[in-house]
Amino acid sequence: MTQSAYWNRIVKKAKEENRPFFSLAPMEAVTGSVFRRVVMKAAAPDNFYTEFTNALSITHPLAKETTKGRLYIDPAENPKPIVQLWGNSEIDFAKAAKEVEKQGYEAIDINMGCPDIAVIKNHSGSDLIRHFDTAKEVIEGARQSDLPVTVKTRIGYSDVHEYETWIPFLLKQQVPVLTVHMRTREEMSKVPAHYELIDDLVQMRDTYAPDTLLQINGDIADYQAGIDLANAHPGVDGIMIGRGIFMNPYAFEKTPQHHSEHELLNLLRYQLDLYDQFVAKGIPGHFAPLQRFFKIYVRGMKGASAIRNDLMQTKTTDDARAIIDRIDPGE
């Protein structure tokens, strides 16, 4: 078990069921409170992460208002999500860690894998793979609160073999959980994940940090694929699913079920309702990012392309509901 009570709670049930724990990956403009609750209703993983949040912005007098939507946790969310922070300053992380602790968060994850060019120009995200000293500093900064601090990263920046030094370095920081996306930054998602390296990562973990939980991310479509991967690589503790949720909102279902078009569209109705409630709280929200979710619910339906095109032309949740009601009048 880890030295973290939070993470021990997360993995306890999974261990009792003799399986890895499952997480929904942090995704920009995706894993806010609204979509986390949609996934929770469809088929919940063991834990969730927030969207990426800039550590500096959390306490900056001019920017902190912009983080309210990202950091909002609804009372219905259980367990509370892990807040994922990005940045490159030990001081920023120290301030942010204390602030998110005040806001009720129970765990912090540091983004050391984001491939976005704007984040890299900020010397953050996967750029930290090239700057071990800065990576160590931000971990130490985040540890200035009492919350457990974990790391999500990639196997390298430009060369697969970078994992041979980068992963041991991170393991030596003795974080409770190390999540590894099995590609380099430059590979983005253009090549298959390097599952052939997982056993090496397990061996490194066992050597340098036997108490650290190893979580694998990349190309994992659903719960069963995660179970298969963990069975093929003993020693893997956790499975993180990202883009798979866009193929199937029920990706975390332990036993796959058939879901009717009506069921899928009701899930979209639920997301629209949650979105309206979110905006009604006075939290800044934009309709455009909501549109990226429409494809999740209409995929595979007869005339899916036309339905999606109609939905993409909408400007409000009521416009979207009118289209849904036209193709699925409901009960």
As a whole number of angstroms, the distance between CA 203 and CA 126 comes to 23
Structure tokens at 156: 């390298």
- Which residue in 114, 193, 214, 290 is the catalytic one? 114
Among residues 198, 133, 114, which one has the least CA distance to residue 160? 198
Whether 86 is catalytic = no
Contact 166, 126 (CB under 8 A): no
How far does CA 319 lie from the centroid of its chain?
29
* Overall residue count recorded for the chain in this entry: 331
Contact 145, 93 (CB under 8 A): no
The structure tokens 């946790």 sit at 73
As a whole number of angstroms, the distance between CA 49 and CA 7 comes to 13
Contact 181, 155 (CB under 8 A): yes
Q: Is the dihedral of CA 295, 296, 302, 307 positive or negative?
A: negative
User: Residue 34: enclosing H or E segment and its boundaries?
Assistant: helix 33-43
The structure tokens 């540091």 sit at 110
Residue by residue, what is the 3-state secondary structure of 196-246? HHHHHHHHHHHHHCCCCEEEEECCCCCHHHHHHHHHHCCCCCEEEECCHHH
Catalytic sites, residue numbers: 114
